[in-house]
Amino acid sequence: MARNMLDCCDKIRDATTLIRLFYTLLLLLHRSHCKTLKSISPSLPLHDGDVLLSENEVFALGFFSPGNSTRRFIGTWYNKVSEQTVFWVANRDRSINDTSGVLSINSHGDLLLHCCNNGSSAIWATNISTTISDNATIAQLQDTGNFFLLQKLGNRVLWQSFDHLTDTLLPFMKLGLDRRTGMDRVLTSWRSKDDPGLGNFTFRIDLMGYPQLFLYKNGAPHWRGGPWTGLRWSGVPMVTNKYIFNISFVNDQEEVSLSYRMRNTSIISRLVTNTSGMIQRFIWHAGDGRWNELYAVPSEECEYYNGCGPNSNCNPYNMNQFRCTCLPGFEPRSPADWSLRDGSGGCIRSPGASTCRSGEGFVKVALVKVPDTSRAYVNMSLSLKKCEQECLKNCSCTAYTSVDERNGGIGCLAWYDDLLDIRTFSDIGQDLYIRVDAAVVARLMKKKGSSGKWLIVVTVSAGVILVLLIVLFITKKRRRRRGTLSAALFGDDESQNMQDLEYDSRTLDFPSFDLSTIATATNNFSFINKLGQGGFGSVYKGVLDNGRELAIKRLSRSSGQGIKEFKNEVTLIAKLQHRNLVKILGCCVQEDEKMLIYEYLPNKSLDLFLFDEEKRSLLDWRKRFEIAMGIARGILYLHQDSRLRIIHRDLKASNVLLDSSMNPKISDFGMARICGGDQIQGKTRRVVGTYGYMAPEYAMRGLFSIKSDVYSFGVILLEIISGKRNNGFSQENPSCSLVDYVWELWKEGLCLDIVDLLMGDMYSKREVMRCIQVGLLCVQEFAMDRPTMSAVVFMLGNDTRLPYPKQPAFAFNRIKGRANPPSSDERTNSVNNMSLTIVEAR
Ligand SMILES: *[C@@H]1O[C@H](CO)[C@@H](O)[C@H](O)[C@H]1NC(C)=O
Ligand SMILES: *[C@@H]1O[C@H](CO)[C@@H](O)[C@H](O)[C@H]1NC(C)=O
Ligand SMILES: *[C@@H]1O[C@H](CO)[C@@H](O)[C@H](O)[C@H]1NC(C)=O
């Protein structure tokens, strides 16, 4: 009994202040007998202090006080998660201010919450419509977290908490409308952490037009997740149905709903709409005893609803340019605002443009979140081709695309007015076809052959064919296919996109190199060609017959994985294309040999520049800043925007290569996948990483996450600014790392002392200080405190107020101090341009 009481009273522990302690004491005195129930029945009510547990004790229900409040609410929480995490609250807006609350079943079978020892009206009730005779209902908590009221006869569920969500979505919960009952399940944020009352933010599926995910702030759109594309939500590319979650979207006569399951059911995860209007996804890390954030949206400026106004596209990757760009055929409504970087007015069709039966066509804008579909038209039975024809026929049709991304596109989604809230992703996204007039078509066609941006598909309406187009038709006759003229056309500003398109098509038939070709190119893997040796194998320089230079990574035989899996992984990894990632050109698998073929970068790696006085003097602040920004963008792409969520795990200056214009390119990403066996996030027995760059939780406990990469980035950033190595920073005192030193100076307000003297004073103090601060934010001790890479990119590029960093992890000391120092098996080589340091922990 005493033990039981301890267990149960433990739940109301959480007291941090004396007042809280005192209050708890009062509470204990008040209820000197805490009970643990398995069900609530007419004869067995739940009093404040009692706990209702689910069958396997996964979840608990009872009275609780949120945050610093002492008011009492009925809620459900995880029974096995040490930090009390409430995911459902019954009486959100009507709290009880003492511990007299009782949850009981009345004579009509209804579940009621009363307080204050009086028989007055209930504070909260399930209000079931039917009246059930005495003793015929009970309330229980399922192991899914669902609290429900059951009619014992026939086991009929009369009411369930899963129909009345609070701010959290758990596996098995459904967000969306039950068309049979009219029940719309939405998430609404708490008012504050002390008050679970209805807050400002609502997350729901909006059924207008074609269903979409929406986050509303006081009823106005705040962020849009977009429509379901069959694989994912159009606006949430980082969450796919692949690794961690099994997401399902149902849209039929019975319901429109979103739900998810964990692929590994022992992983505890939740999705919360928080009080400041962010949707956060957490995973419970039992080892740390804390919730780790996997992602949060909206996370960058382009995510806020319609920030660039109508008919405009938000592109966060527009380096040094305004993120808003008008869609083809449109121009800023107010050029003055536009030049002041205020895009909210959006764009209008260029004056004089005629898009009605006068030779108009469509321009493809690739890799986007499709426009708001609240007023879009859907027809699942049309193909993309038919969709185009239908759209062309109706002069008010402004754009079209496929509904579902699978099988090369299914169905037709068409817009008939302004296009709202479009954004570009760097890698994954849908293609949107936008109606443009003949003049735009002609202009884009003329530019073909320079370098650029849009891929255009022009369909010429049967009615009017402009003379210009006739001419073009004759000259480009060869490209003509059944009335559709396809050609790659180019704009000026973004050569990058076009490259991406080219490489995409190349990776479709991913080249497999012949072993004899590679052997010849490397002089039979001769010593002279060897660039270096790393944990996964050696790296050689190769020159093909046509003079093309390659870097060849010959994987050691032990890095075991079947040929098929190896090829699959390499093909996946090779699809990751970004200007800040080293390109994988192919692979070679033959006779036991597995090799990866990369582009060769003559400038080799960043560490060779950074830690060499002569070379370092070539790097002025602008260049260093660009390098840091490029690395950050590359990591962001790996973490968030690519099809695969890649955690690099071994980021360091020697894994950043430099091309001939000193653009940084990250190498060795995806090695954990290529070499077999990887988890997307979690714990590994094999620690692949380099001392000094490794986050403490990874180095010590093998816990890796995107935040361990953020840590490594922070170290690289500080190295770039100071021109000093984090490791072996101080010869006299080897346990003092660069990070420690910067932190000490920062606290004294002297952080500019670490700036590399070779830069003279040719830098903006403000900018450098901002970068140091970002660096310190990245190396904070707790992963949870560190920013995500999207936040890092934003903070580096924008002069905004930054949070004050907390104490960094003194990783070096700690690692040295642990039982099994990794240095015993450290092999490193920073001379080669593909180096890899590997530390094997047990
Ligand atoms: C599921 O996750 C648990 C805890 O993280 C882990 O121990 C287990 O190996 C995982 N199972 C599978 C099949 O991945
Ligand atoms: C909401 O989530 C964001 C993103 O993780 C976080 O920065 C913010 O602090 C959260 N707000 C609250 C009140 O917890
Ligand atoms: C064009 O489409 C709109 C929206 O579906 C419709 O209201 C209008 O009648 C159509 N016009 C013609 C000429 O078909």
Whether 414 is in a domain gets the answer yes
CB atoms within 10 A of CB 247: 18
Per DSSP, which regions of 83-217 are E strands?
A: 86-89, 102-105, 111-114, 124-125, 137-141, 147-151, 156-160, 168-169, 175-178, 183-185, 187-192, 195-206, 212-217
Distant-in-sequence, close-in-space partners of 202: CB < 8 Å, separation ≥ 6: 186, 187, 188, 189, 215, 216, 219, 273
Cβ pair 630, 663 in contact under 8 A: yes
Considering the domain architecture, whether residues 539 and 678 belong to the same structural domain is answered as: no
Q: Which among 94, 54, 46 is positioned nearest to 78, based on CA atoms?
A: 54
Total domains, the chain: 5
Cβ partners under 8 Å of residue 16, min gap 6: none
CATH of the domain at 570: 3.30.200.20
Q: Are residues 654 and 583 in the same domain?
A: no
Nearest alpha carbon to residue 31 among 64, 53, 2, 9? 9
Nearest residue (by CA) to ligand 3, atom 9, is 394
Task: Report residue 70: phi and psi, to 5°.
Answer: -110, 0
Q: Do 192 and 275 contact (CB within 8 A), yes or no? A: yes
The span from the first CA to the last CA of the chain, in angstroms, equals 43
pLDDT tens-place string over residues 542-599: 988 887 889 998 887 655 567 777 777 788 788 888 899 998 888 888 877 888 899 8
| Cα Dmax for the chain | 94
pLDDT of residue 38: 95
CA distance 64 to 86: 9
Q: What's the CA gap between 29 and 120, in Å, rounded?
A: 25
Residues 41, 66, single domain; the answer is: yes
Using a 6 Å cutoff on CB, does residue 278 contact ligand 2? yes
pLDDT in tens, 747-802: 998 889 999 988 888 888 999 999 999 999 999 988 889 999 988 998 898 887 88
What integer pLDDT is reported at residue 120 of this predicted model?
A: 72
What does the pLDDT look like over 828-841, one tens digit per residue? 322 222 222 222 22
Q: Is the CB of 416 under 6 A from ligand 3?
A: yes
Q: How far is the CA of 12 from the centre of ligand 1 (A)?
A: 31
Q: What are the beta bridge partners of residue 657?
A: 605, 665
Closest Cα to atom 8 of ligand 2: 276
- Nearest of 651, 793, 666, 638 to residue 715 by alpha carbon: 651
Contact 775, 718 (CB under 8 A): yes
* Residue 471 within any structural domain of the chain: no
List, in sequence order, the alpha helices (H) in 702-830: 706-722, 738-747, 765-778, 789-797, 811-817
CA of 511 to the centre of ligand 1 (A): 35
pLDDT at 508 over 90: no
Same domain, 671 and 772: yes
Confidence band (pLDDT; 50, 70, 90) for 276? very high
CA of 396 to the centre of ligand 3 (A): 7
Of 167, 215, 272, 276, best ligand 2 pocket probe by most atoms within 8 Å of the beta carbon: 276
Cα–Cα dist 738/311, whole Å: 48
- Let me know: does 644 contact 680? Beta carbons within 8 Å: no
Which range has the worst mean pLDDT, 199-203, 365-369, 522-526, 694-698? 694-698
CATH number at residue 817: 1.10.510.10
Mark whether 371 and 413 lie in a shared domain.
yes
Contact 172, 277 (CB under 8 A): no
Which bound ligand lies closest to the C-alpha atom of 395?
3
In this prediction, residue 117 carries a pLDDT of 77
The bound ligand whose nearest atom lies closest to the alpha carbon of 400 is 3
The closest-lying atom of ligand 1 relative to the alpha carbon of residue 265 is 1
665 and 792 part of one domain: yes
Q: What is the residue with the minimal CA distance to atom 14 of ligand 2?
A: 274
pLDDT of residue 797: 84
> Which CATH number fits the domain that encloses residue 64?
2.90.10.10
Average pLDDT of the residues in 650-669: 90
Residues annotated in a binding site for ATP: 553
What pLDDT is recorded for position 574?
A: 81
**Residue ranges lining ligand 1, Cβ < 6 Å:** 264, 266-267, 682
Cis peptide before 298 (omega within 30 of 0): yes
Asked if residue 250 belongs to a domain, the reply is: no
Q: 58 in a domain, yes or no?
A: yes
The CB of 296 under 6 Å from ligand 2? The reply is yes
Q: Domain for residue 28, yes or no?
A: yes
Tell me, yes or no, whether 564 and 681 share the same domain.
no
Q: How confident is the model at residue 465 (pLDDT cuts 50, 70, 90)?
A: very low
Position of tokens 């379901």? 228
- Which ligand number lies closest to the CA of residue 681? 1
What is the token pair recorded at 147?
Answer: 């609290």
The distance of Cα 14 from the centroid of its chain, to the nearest Å, equals: 32
Instruction: Tell whether 818 and 783 lie within a shared domain.
Output: yes
Phi (first) and psi of residue 790, to 5 degrees: -65, -35
Within this chain, do residues 773 and 802 fall inside the same structural domain, yes or no? yes
> 78 has which bridge partners?
59
Give domain status of residue 419, yes or no: yes
What is the spatial distance between Cα 439 and Cα 462, in angstroms, rounded to a whole number? 17
For residues 40 and 25, membership in a common domain is answered with no
Give the count of beta carbons closer than 10 Å to the beta carbon of residue 524.
9
| Four-residue CA torsion sign, 53, 171, 168, 138 | negative
Pair 348, 405 in one domain: yes
Residues 6+ apart with CB under 8 A from 294: 244, 269, 281, 282, 283, 681, 705, 706
**d(C-alpha 606, C-alpha 720), whole Å:** 9
Confidence of residue 210 (pLDDT cuts 50, 70, 90): very high
Q: What is the DSSP letter of 91?
A: S
Q: Is 83 among the domain residues? A: yes
CB 379 less than 6 A from any atom of ligand 3: no
- Residue 451 is predicted with a pLDDT of 38
Over residues 673-687, the mean pLDDT reads 54
766 is in which domain, residue-wise?
Answer: 606-840
By residue count, the chain amounts to: 842
* 475 domain-assigned: no
Task: Tell how strand 290-297 and strand 656-658 pair up.
Answer: unpaired
Of the three residues 599, 616, 642, the one that is the final residue of a domain is 599
Amino acid sitting at position 7: D
Better pLDDT: 467 or 398? 398
Integer Cα distance of 283 and 555 in angstroms = 34
Among candidate residues 117, 149, 164, the one where a domain is terminated: 164
Last residue of some domain: 164, 192, 211? 164
Do residue 710 and residue 798 come from a single domain? yes
Q: Is 394 in the pocket of ligand 3 (CB under 6 A)?
A: yes
